[in-house]
Amino acid sequence: MPWAATPKDRLRDLLILVGTIVFTYVFVGLSPMNGKLAYFSIFFLTYAILTGTYQGVTRGSAAAKDAVVSSIVVVGAVATLIPITSILATVIAKGYKGLSINLFTTDMSLATATDPLSNGGLLHAITGTLTLVAIALIISVPLGILTALYMTEIKGRFMKPIKFLVQAMSGVPSIVAGLFILSAVLYPITKSSSGLMGALALSILMIPTIARTSEEVLLLIPSELREAGVALGGTQWRTVAMIVVPAARSGLITAIILGVARIAGETAPLLLLTGGGDKVNPNPFDGPMGSLPYYIWKSFYAGSEESITRAWAGLLVLIVIILVLFISARSLSSRKVK
C-alpha cells in the first residue's frame, strides 16, 4: 500500500514521541507544577505543538491544524477515561481491605461504626437491596414492557406524546420520585417507612429505562414476522404473545437488566423512604429496611476509619453487582444480533 507508513515515517513518529516524553519530564521537573495531571497536560500540549509544527513545515497549515486537532481529540478521550480508571482503582484498592467472610454473613445490628471490621457486615444491606429490586421488578416490568408494546405494536394516536412522556420521566430526579411516594403513599396511607415504599420510588425510576430499551428492541423485530402471524389467521394478541415477544426475548431481558442496574445504586429516595435498618428484615411491608446504598451512605457519614473502610467495601460489592449486570446485558444483546 503506497499510503502505509514507511519505516522512515515510523522513526519520525517515534522520535516525536520520545522527544515529547523527555521534554515533559524535564519541564515538569523544573517547574513548580506537580501531579499526574501536570504531566498529562504538558505531554499532550508538547505533542500537539511538535506534530503541528512538523506537519506545518512539511505539508502546510491545513495539515498542521489536522495534526493539532488529532491530539486534542485524543485528550478528550483520555480525559473521559481518567475518572473511570481512578474510580475503579480506588474502589478496588480501598474496598478489598474491608472484605471478609463475616461481611456476607452478619448484619450491623450488633456492631457500631467504630467496631473493628471483624464485627458486623452488610448481609442486611444485600438482602434489603435484593428485596427492593424484586418488588420494583414486579411493578415496573409489566408497565415498562406494556408501554413499549403500545409504542411498537398498537402505534395508537397517543404514540408521540407517550414517547415524549417516557423520555421526560427518565429525567425525573430520584429525589422527586422519593418525595412523591412520601406525599402520595407514605403520609396518607402507611404512615411508616418500609421497604415497599422504597421499592415504589425505585419503580418510577426503572419504568422509563425498561420502556425505552424494550421499545428499541421491539422495533428491531422485522415486521414480516408480525405480518406472517396475522396472515396465518392469528389475532394480534396471539401474534404479539407467541411471535413478537418470544423473538425479542433476549433483548427484553437486556432491558430489564439495564433497569436493575439503573436502580441498584439509587440512594436519595431510599434515604427518605426505607428507614435504613441495621438488621436483616425479611418483611418489606413493615419496619425499616437496609440497602446497599443506604449502608454506604451511613458508613461514609459515620466518619470513623473503620466505617469509611466499610463504605468502600460496600461500594466494591455494589460495583461488582453492577458490573455483572452490565456484562450479562451486553453478552445477551450481542448474541441477539448474530
Partner 1 sequence: MSIAVDPVKPREITTQPRLSDRVFRGIVTTGGFSSLLILGLISLFLGYRGFEVFRNEGLSFITSSEWSIVFDESGNIVESNFGLAAMLVGTILCALVAVIIAVPISVFSALFLNFYAPAWLKKILVAVIDLMAAFPSILFGVWGFLVLMPSVEYWAKLLNKYLGFIPLFEIKPYFATRSPFVAGVVLAIMIIPIITSVSREVFAQAPLDRIQAAYALGATRWAMIKAVVIPHGRSGVIGGAMLGLGRAMGETVAVFTVLNIVFQVNWHILLGAGGNVASLIILKFGEASPYEIKALMAAGLVLFVLTLGVNALADFIVKRTGKSGR
Site string for partner 1, 59-88 (x = CB under 8 A): ---xx-xx--xx-xxxxxx-xxx-xx-xx-
Name the minimum Å distance from CB 285 to partner 1: 21
Report the alpha-carbon distance of residue 101 to residue 89 in Å, rounded: 22
Q: Is 322 in the site for partner 1 (CB under 8 A)?
A: yes
DSSP state of 5: P
Site string for partner 1, 189-228 (x = CB under 8 A): ---------------x--xx--x-----------------
Tell me which residues in 176-195 interact with partner 1 (CB under 8 A).
Answer: 176-177, 179-180, 182-184, 187
Residue 210, class by beta-carbon neighbours within 10 Å (0-12 exposed, 13-18 middle, 19+ buried)? buried
Q: Is 174 exposed, middle or buried (0-12, 13-18, 19+ CB in 10 A)?
A: buried
Window 246-305: residues binding partner 1 (CB under 8 A): 258, 261-262, 264-268, 271-272, 293, 296-297, 300
Among 254, 312, 317, 333, binds partner 1 (CB under 8 A): 312
Compute the distance between CA of residue 39 and CA of residue 303 in angstroms, rounded to an integer. 33
Report 91-110 residues binding partner 1 (CB under 8 A): 91
CA distance 155 to 240: 13
Q: Is 115 exposed, middle or buried (0-12, 13-18, 19+ CB in 10 A)?
A: middle
| Cβ distance to partner 1 smaller for residue 32 or 222 | 32
> Is 331 one of the binding residues for partner 1 (CB under 8 A)?
no
Answer yes or no whether residue 307 interacts with partner 1 by CB under 8 A.
no
CB of 23 to partner 1, least distance (A): 22
Contact residue for partner 1 among 130, 280, 308, 332 (CB under 8 A):
308
Q: Is 122 or 151 the residue whose CB approaches partner 1 more closely? A: 151
Whose Cβ is closer to partner 1: residue 59's or residue 249's?
Answer: 59
The grid coordinates of residue 321 equal: 453487582
Helix or strand run (H / E) with residue 224: helix 223-231
Q: In one letter, which amino acid is 53?
A: T
Answer yes or no: are the C-beta atoms of 306 and 113 closer than 8 Å: yes
